[in-house]
Structure 1
Amino acid sequence: METSAATQPANGTVHPPEPRTLAQTTAFHAEHRPDTPAVICEGRTLTYADLHRESDRVAHALRAAGLVPGDRVAYLGKESEHYYEILFGCAKSGTVLVPVNWRLTAPEVSHILGDSGTRLLFLEDEFAPIVEGMATAPPETVVRLSDIEARKAEHTSVQTEFEATPDTPFAQLYTSGTTGLPKGVVLAHRSFFAIRDALASEGLDWIDWRPGDIALVGIPGFHIGGLWWATQNFNAGTTVVAMRAFAARRAVDLIRDLGITTACVVPAMLRMMLTEPGITAKDFATLRKTVYGGSPISEALLEESLAVLDCEFAQIYGLTETGNTAVCLPPAAHVPGGSLMQAAGHPYPGVRAKVIDGEGRELPPGAVGEVCLHTPARMIEYWGLPDKTAETLVDGWIHTGDAGYVDVDGYVFIRDRIKDAILVAGENVYPAEIENVLEGHPGVAEAVVVGAPDERWGEYVHAFIVPDPEQQPTPRDLHTYLVPQLASFKLPARYEFIDHVPRNPSGKILRRELRDRFWNDSARKVN
C-alpha cells in the first residue's frame, strides 16, 4: 500500500511513496519538509534541507577522491550528524558504508578494514590511536572528522552520476562467526525499506512512524538495530535524536526534555534507565512506543517497563543477516502474564518462518529445531565468503542458528542457540575468538568460553581455563593479557580453573555440559 504525503492513513502513520532507496530519501524530504529537524545531536540540529545538502557534498567529495560505486567507505566514530551525512553520501555515490565498532581493538579494526578492502576511512579524532596502533597500513585515504568541512568544500561541483536500485549494496556490517573472525554482511537498499512496506501493505501499526515523531536512537550505528532504526525514521521524515554513546541518565533526560515519542533500545538499556535514581513515569510521559530487541528480555523486566514507561511496546527479532527485524511481537500481544510474553513475535506480512531438524526437514508446530527466516530484507552475501554464504542463505532462507519453535498461530519462540554465540547487552560474542586469544597466553593450555546468565547484561562471558602445568596464571594476569586484544564487552567477567575439558569420544568439546549448569533453573537457555 503506497500513499502520498497528502493522503496519509487515518492513523497518521507516515509511509512516503517516493524513496525506494536511501539515495532518494533526503531529496524527497528536502522538497516536502525542508525545515523539519532531521538530526538532533548534543544540541546541534540539521534540517532535512541541511542533511540533503551536506550529504550531497559528501557524495561529491567521495567521487572526487577517486572512489567508484562499490568501493568501501568505513566510518570509525560515534554517532553524530556527520555519521548520517556520510551514510547518505555513500548512498548517493554508490559506495558501500562500513560502520566500524569503535569499541574494538587495533587488531580487530585492522581485520575489518583489510577484509572489506576499505579505500577511504572517516575517522573521529578520539579513535586515531586505534588506527595508529594497527600492525597493517591504514586505508589509502583517511579523513579526520575534524577536517570534514574543509574536505566537503573542496568538491562542491563534482557530479556523482549514479542511480541506486533497491538491490544495490549499501552497507557492510561485521558480525562475528564461530571461526572467530568477523564476517562482512552485505545489505542492499531494500533491506531498509522491505519491512516498512510489509507493514504498509496490510495497514499494520506494529511499528509505525507518524508526523511529528521524535525518535531516540540509543543503539549505535555500527549495529544493525541502530542503523535500521535511524534509516526507518529518515525514510518517514521524522526527527532522529542521536546519542553519541548510550548513557541511561542522558537518555532519560532527552526523552523528557525533547519530548521524544519513539525509541529503539536493547533490554539492557531499559534496565539501566529504570534503575537510575529518581526515575518516575513522568520522565517518559511523551513516549508513545518503545521498540526493543537485540537480545531476549525477561518477563520481570518487560512487565516493569510496561508499567513505568506506560506506552506501547513492540519486540523485534532478527539478525544482521535478515536485515534486522523479521519477526515482531506487536503491542497488542504485550499483556502481563499472557501466553505470548515469551514469544519473539510473529513474522511480518511477506516474511516466513519455519523450523527444521538436523536433516533440513521442516518440523510441525511446537517442535523445537533451527529457526529459519525468509525475508525480502535478507542479506546479499557474506563479503568474500561464498561457502559461508551458502551455509547461511539457502534458497532464500536465512538459517539463524537459533533453536526454537513456531506455534499453531505462527508465533516464533526462541528456546536456545544452536550456534555458540553469547549475547552481552545485545552484542554477539563468539567463544572461538576469545578462546583463540586466551590460548596464546603461555600459562593457558586450553580455554573454553560459555555464556552465563546476568541480570544486568543478559549474559556474561565465563572462561574455563586449563592452566599450563608449568605456571598458573591468575584472573588478573589473563585480564591484563586480553585487554589490548579484545573489545571490553568480549572480556570474560569470570575465570574458572579446571583440570581438563570434557570431550565426547570423537574429541569434540562438550561445551553444553559446561554451559548448562548455569542455566539449569532457567526455562530458556538465553537470557
Structure 2
Amino acid sequence: MRPGYADLILSALRRRPERTAFRFTDDDGAKHTWTYGETAERIERTAAAFGRRGLAPGDGIALLCGPDPRAFTVMAAACLAGLRYTALHPLATADTDRTVLRDSASDRLVVDDTRFASRAHPEGVQALSLTELDSLAADTAPGPGDPRGPALYLFYTGGTTGEPKGVMLRDRSLLANAWAGATWAWPPDTHFLITTPMSHAAGLLVAPGLLRGASFELHSSFDPGRVLDAIEHDGVSATFVVPTMLYALLDHPRLATADLSGLTWVLYGAAPADPARLAEAHRLLGPVLSQHYGQAEAPNALTVLDPAEHRDDPGVLGSCGRPVPGVEIALLDPHGRDVPDGEPGELCARGPLVMDGYWNKPEQTAAALEGGWLHTGDVARRDGTGLITIIDRIKDTIITGGFNVYPREVEDVLATHPAVAAVAVYGTPDPHWGEAVTATVVLHPGRHATPAELTDHVRARRGALWAPKRLHLADALPLTALGKVDKKELRNRS
C-alpha cells in the first residue's frame, strides 16, 4: 500500500522530534506543550487503540471535539488506521449532529467529554470519551498487527442551504492539499495561532505547517484582545481569520498601540472580503495578508493572493489571486465553453486536490463533477494578468427585471461609503421585479447614513439596476457557525 496522508504527517513529525508542535491551555487553566515527536507517538498509539476497540479499515468513526490538538491527532490516527473519519462541528446543534452521524454511517463517536457531555446523539452509535481514548492509547504499544488502510475523510459542508453533504476526501486529495499548502508563503519559524474549529479549514492547515516546521498555538475561541496579547507576548507570528474576524481586529481599540512587529502572516478566506477594509488592514498590519479561496470540495485553497501581491488597489484586493500549484482553473459559460478575459463564468477546477464526490449522493456528485471539472458554483472573472475575482455564488445571483445582478458587486460599492462597517446584499421576492436587490447595512459606531443616502451612493457609482430596492439598517449581521454572513437568515427576516 502506498504511503498516505497520515504517513506524510508522521514523516514530517519525525524529522523534527524536539520542535514544538502544539501549545494550548486546558479547561483547568494548565498550559501544555507537545513536541513533534510526542505528537507522532500519540497518533500511532491512538491508531493502535482503535484496533483494540475492534475498529477495522473501512469502519466509520466521528469526532466531536473543541479547540484541542487531539482534534488533529485523532483525525490523523483514523486516517492511518484506514477508518472513515467524520468531524462534527463544535458549534453545530444536536440535530445537525444526528443528521451527519446518520448520513456518514459512523459506528463510533469520540466525544470531548469535558465540553460536550450533554449533547444528545443517535441510538446505535457507540460513544467513547476522549479521556477513555487517551487512557487506552497510553496503554497500547503500536505493532505490526495494527489496522492500516487508505484514508477516507468525510468533510461535511455547512448545510446553510440544505442538508449537509459529506465531501469524500481520500489520500490523493489530502496529500495534494498538504503539498499545495506547503508552497504558501510560510515565514521562517512560524508560530501559528488557531482560534477557529479544527474540525474544518483550520485543521487542514496543520499538515502543510508541519511540513514547513511550524508550531501551533490553540485558543478556545476568537477574542481579538487575546489575539493581540498572543502576538505581543506569546510569540505568535501568524494566524488564520475569516473576514468578520479580521474586521474585529481592525476595530479593536488596542490595535493602534499594540506592538505587532512579530506578526508576519495573516491568512484570510472562507468568505468574501471588503477591498476597502483589506486596504485598511494592509496599512495597519503591514505586508502580511494572504488570501486563500477554496471550498470543502477542494480544500484548502484553489487560488492564493500572496502577501507580495497585496497592494492598495481595489482591483487586486477584490481578487482571490492565482491558482495554486497542481490545480487547473477554467471559467466556463453554461455550455461548458471558456469565457473571454473580463467576462463572468463559473469557476471550475480539476486536479488531484478535488474530491472524489459526495458520500452516497451519486446524482449530486455527477452534477458537481460534470465534464471532469469541479463546478464550484462561484461566478468569477479573470483579468489580463491572470488575477481571478469571485463575483458571487451562482445561486445568489439576483435576477431583477430580467437582468443579472451579482450581490458582491453591490456590496463592494456600499462598503466604500465612509459610514458603512459591514454589508450583505441578497435577493428577495418582488411582484414587479421578480427579485428585488435588498441590502442590510451595519454602520460604524457614531456614523450616520440614511437608507436613501446609501441607495443613492450605489446608484451614482454603479447605476440604477444595482441600487437596492430595499435597504435595512441593523446593529449586526447574523453569522453561521463558520463565521460567514447568514444570508438565508437575512432573507427570512425581510
TM-score, normalised to structure 1's length? 0.73
> Alpha carbons of 1:32 and 1:352: their partners in 2 closer, same or farther (altered >3 Å)?
closer
Q: Where do 5+ consecutive residues of structure 2 fail to align?
A: 26-30, 399-406, 442-454, 469-483, 486-494
Other-structure match for 2:151: 169
**1:150-196: per-residue Cα shift (whole Å, max 9, x none)?**
232343356554555xxx43421111458611000111233344256
Alpha-carbon RMSD: 3.2
Other-structure match for 1:127: 116
Structure 2 contact 13–210 (Cα < 8 Å) conserved: no
> Alpha carbons of 1:70 and 1:281: their partners in 2 closer, same or farther (altered >3 Å)?
farther
> Alpha carbons of 1:161 and 1:458: their partners in 2 closer, same or farther (altered >3 Å)?
farther
Other-structure match for 2:11: 28
Other-structure match for 1:41: 24
Q: Secondary structure at the match of 2:378?
A: strand
Structure 1 contact 404–414 (Cα < 8 Å) conserved: yes
Instruction: Judge which range, 171-180 or 348-357, deviates more.
Output: 171-180
Structure 2 contact 332–345 (Cα < 8 Å) conserved: yes
Instruction: Judge which range, 23-32 or 120-129, deviates more.
Output: 23-32
**1:272-294: per-residue Cα shift (whole Å, max 9, x none)?**
12222322364321111211111
Other-structure match for 1:137: 123
**Residue identity in the other structure for 2:220:** R
Rounded to whole Å, the distance in 2 between the matches of 1:459 and 1:64 is 51
> Alpha carbons of 1:110 and 1:196: their partners in 2 closer, same or farther (altered >3 Å)?
closer
Q: How does 1:424-503 map to 2 (within 5 A)?
A: 459=424, 502=430
How many residues end up aligned between the 2 structures? 426
Q: How does 1:150-189 map to 2 (within 5 A)?
A: 150-156=135-141, 159=144, 161=146, 168-176=150-158, 180-189=162-171
Other-structure match for 1:402: 378
Structure 1 contact 368–403 (Cα < 8 Å) conserved: yes
Rounded to whole Å, the distance in 1 between the matches of 2:232 and 2:365 is 44
Rounded to whole Å, the distance in 2 between the matches of 1:304 and 1:117 is 47
Residue 145 of structure 1 deviates from its aligned partner by 2.2
TM-score, normalised to structure 2's length? 0.77
Verify: 1:231 aligned to 2:213, yes or no. no
Other-structure match for 2:449: none
Q: Where do 5+ consecutive residues of structure 1 fail to align?
A: 1-18, 423-449, 465-500
Structure 1 contact 382–389 (Cα < 8 Å) conserved: yes
Structure 2 contact 57–83 (Cα < 8 Å) conserved: yes
Whose relative contact order is higher, 1 or 2, with alpha carbons under 8 Å and at least 6 apart? 1
**Residue identity in the other structure for 1:228:** L
**Residue identity in the other structure for 1:35:** E
Structure 2 contact 426–439 (Cα < 8 Å) conserved: no
Residue 29 of structure 1 deviates from its aligned partner by 3.9
Work out the percentage of aligned pairs sharing the same amino acid: 28
Rounded to whole Å, the distance in 2 between the matches of 1:406 and 1:232 is 28
Q: Secondary structure at the match of 1:339?
A: helix
Rounded to whole Å, the distance in 2 between the matches of 1:322 and 1:92 is 21
Other-structure match for 1:489: none
**Residue identity in the other structure for 2:117:** A
**1:203-230: per-residue Cα shift (whole Å, max 9, x none)?**
xx6x23355221112332222x212212
Residue 315 of structure 1 deviates from its aligned partner by 0.7
Structure 2 contact 304–323 (Cα < 8 Å) conserved: yes
Rounded to whole Å, the distance in 1 between the matches of 2:302 and 2:436 is 32
Q: Secondary structure at the match of 1:45?
A: strand
> Alpha carbons of 1:243 and 1:318: their partners in 2 closer, same or farther (altered >3 Å)?
same
Other-structure match for 2:198: 221
Rounded to whole Å, the distance in 1 between the matches of 2:337 and 2:198 is 37
Residue 27 of structure 1 deviates from its aligned partner by 3.4
Residue 376 of structure 1 deviates from its aligned partner by 2.1
> Alpha carbons of 1:50 and 1:21: their partners in 2 closer, same or farther (altered >3 Å)?
same
Residue 68 of structure 1 deviates from its aligned partner by 1.6
Verify: 1:191 aligned to 2:173, yes or no. yes
Residue 75 of structure 1 deviates from its aligned partner by 1.2
Other-structure match for 1:329: 305
**Residue identity in the other structure for 1:213:** T
Instruction: Judge which range, 148-157 or 181-190, deviates more.
Output: 148-157
Residue 31 of structure 1 deviates from its aligned partner by 3.3
Rounded to whole Å, the distance in 2 between the matches of 1:334 and 1:20 is 37
**Residue identity in the other structure for 1:38:** A
Instruction: Judge which range, 453-462 or 335-344, deviates more.
Output: 453-462
Q: Secondary structure at the match of 1:271?
A: helix
Verify: 1:212 aligned to 2:189, yes or no. yes
Rounded to whole Å, the distance in 2 between the matches of 1:460 and 1:144 is 43
Rounded to whole Å, the distance in 2 between the matches of 1:517 and 1:268 is 17
